[in-house]
């Protein structure tokens, strides 16, 4: 009974700490502007089933995909055993489902053990690829420091989970053979029916019970650790991949989103009467594009929190391949880091982060009056966004339908349309388009050739 009380206290404390952390992620995503995502629900659920659940796009790279599948499927099946552990913990039971399910229970646990063994192998493969083989896309500079450590931590936690399962099931199997009280016959599990006696055979009953309890607690405490850790980890994609694939754009990848402000300006140019509309003239000039997270769409920020940092986007980026500074993965990571920074500063409530022109007596810090003197351009250099060729290779490569190109375009639009800035070799083109409607600065009207052809 004491064990059940201790378990309940730890479980409740874990979720009491974790829930506010996940709500902050949601709040950070909603820092972005509203955007109505037009989608067909059938296609959206198809994306969830094939891309998020089915790992469809992972298999463009077969070797890592197969090993990732081992870990992923093991993770899904282990949730069945996790449910039983939670029930056992709260109600002081042992293998709650065993008697009710009989032989089917043996099959389920055996399947979990086989998948866990495959996951054990896959975990060492991924550790080797990151730390020994140093796969190029997993060894780039944007992963230095915390991102690299984060990638290793989750793999170490995977190994810890597997050790817990092995100790728990292995000692349990030996205790069943000894006829120990509470350890009722569950049948022979696929792996621990032979590995258990091999590791723990000949030990006393009290020692075996200690090992079994150690494995049980190690497993559940590691799971609780996962729950607390994920909000600060790239492995948040375990949850975020599903809503992100559901809300992914279903338009052609090369289609760019029009800006209503620009459309309005063009329409007024095409309609002479609109140019003298007082209501239009009195309006403040809009800001085009985005310079910071609140100017981005909420979907851009959701993409950022969904990113697995796998680097497939950067690995296929022609700008990066040819030595340019651009890395689509870094762009997405920078947006997530900046969103997190803004969220933390909003939580602080410090009035120093209120924009100077909005500092009134009693003013409360909100995203609408937030200004810390920084923007995304403090994270992402102009050189990076200029290097993008808008080829959509990064969009096509992402295994969970993230669109790194869209925020790049928003940053470029801000620089060019709001700041009237940009690379020196681009500006003559923009000036020419504005003055003559042509990319090339020519003195003749664009349609002169047509008029001459008609006369001829």
Burial class of residue 367 in the structure, from the number of CB atoms within 10 Å of its CB (0-12 exposed, 13-18 middle, 19+ buried): middle
Runs of H (alpha helix) within 292-438:
298-306, 312-316, 318-321, 328-348, 382-387, 393-397, 405-413, 427-436
Gap between the Cα atoms of 238 and 308, Å rounded: 9
Q: What is the pLDDT of residue 292?
A: 96
Q: Is 390 left (phi over 0), alpha (psi -120 to 50) or beta?
A: left
Task: Please give the Cα distance from 190 to 315 (Å, whole number).
Answer: 40
How many Cα atoms are found within 13 Å in the side-chain-facing hemisphere of 101? Answer: 15
Write out the DSSP string of 184-216: ------TTHHHHHHHHHTT--HHHHHHHHHHHH
> Which pLDDT score, from 0 to 100, does residue 285 have?
64
110: its two tokens: 């055996």
- 231 and 21 Cβ atoms separated by less than 8 Å: yes
Q: How far apart are the two ends of the chain, measured CA to CA in Å?
A: 100
CB atoms within 10 A of CB 35: 13
SS3 32: coil
Contact 168, 192 (CB under 8 A): no
For the chain, residues with pLDDT lower than 70 are: 265-266, 268-285, 437, 441-447, 449, 456
Locate 200 and state its tokens. 């723990």
Give the count of beta carbons closer than 10 Å to the beta carbon of residue 430.
14
- Burial class of residue 42, CB neighbours in 10 A (0-12, 13-18, 19+): exposed
| pLDDT of 272 | 61
DSSP reduced 3-state for 33: strand
Q: What is the pLDDT of residue 37?
A: 75
Instruction: Quickly list DSSP for 275-298.
Output: GG-HHHHHSPPPPPS-SSGGGSBH
In this structure, how many other beta carbons lie within 10 angstroms of the beta carbon of residue 102? 12
On whether the pTM is more than 0.95, the answer is no
Q: Which of 374, 373, 392, 371 is nearest to 249 (CA)?
A: 392
């Amino acid at each position: 009974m004491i064990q059940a009380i201790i378990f309940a206290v730890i479980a409740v404390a874990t979720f009491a700490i974790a829930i506010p952390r996940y709500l902050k992620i949601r709040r950070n995503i909603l820092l972005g502007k509203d955007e109505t995502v037009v989608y067909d629900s059938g296609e959206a659920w198809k994306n969830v089933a094939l891309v998020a659940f089915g790992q469809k796009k992972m298999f463009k790279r077969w070797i890592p995909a197969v090993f990732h599948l081992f870990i992923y499927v093991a993770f899904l099946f282990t949730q069945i055993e996790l449910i039983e552990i939670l029930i056992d913990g709260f109600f002081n039971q042992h293998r709650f489902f065993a008697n009710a399910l009989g032989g089917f229970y043996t099959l389920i646990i055996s399947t979990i053990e086989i998948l866990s063994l495959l996951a054990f192998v896959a975990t060492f493969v991924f550790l080797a690829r990151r730390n020994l083989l140093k796969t190029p896309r997993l060894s780039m500079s944007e992963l230095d420091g915390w991102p690299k450590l984060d990638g290793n931590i989750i793999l170490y936690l995977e190994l810890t989970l597997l050790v817990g399962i092995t100790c728990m099931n292995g000692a349990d199997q030996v205790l069943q053979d000894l006829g120990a009280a509470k350890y009722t016959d569950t049948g022979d599990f696929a792996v621990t029916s032979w590995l258990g006696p091999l590791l723990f055979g000949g030990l006393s009953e009290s020692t075996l019970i200690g090992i079994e309890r150690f494995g049980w607690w190690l497993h559940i405490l590691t799971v609780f650790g996962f729950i607390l850790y994920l909000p600060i980890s790239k492995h948040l994609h375990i949850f975020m991949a599903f809503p992100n694939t559901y809300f992914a754009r279903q338009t052609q990848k090369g289609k760019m989103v029009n800006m209503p402000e620009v459309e309005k300006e063009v329409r007024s140019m095409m309609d002479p009467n609109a140019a003298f509309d007082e209501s239009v003239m009195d309006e403040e000039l809009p800001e085009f594009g985005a310079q910071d997270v609140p100017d981005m769409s909420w979907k851009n920020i959701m993409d950022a929190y969904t990113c697995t940092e796998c680097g497939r986007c950067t690995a296929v980026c022609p700008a990066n391949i040819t030595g340019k500074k651009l890395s689509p993965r870094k762009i997405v990571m920078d947006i997530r880091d900046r969103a997190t920074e803004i969220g933390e500063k909003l939580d602080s409530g410090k009035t120093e982060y209120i924009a100077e022109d909005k500092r009134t007596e009693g003013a409360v810090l909100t995203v609408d009056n937030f200004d810390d003197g920084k923007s995304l351009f403090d994270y992402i250099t102009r050189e990076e966004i200029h290097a993008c060729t808008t080829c959509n290779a990064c969009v096509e490569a992402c295994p969970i339908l993230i669109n790194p190109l869209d925020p790049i375009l928003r940053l470029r639009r801000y620089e060019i349309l709001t700041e009237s800035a940009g690379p020196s070799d681009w500006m003559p083109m923009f000036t020419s388009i504005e003055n003559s409607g042509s990319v090339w600065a020519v003195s003749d009207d664009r349609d002169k050739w047509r008029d001459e052809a008609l006369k001829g």
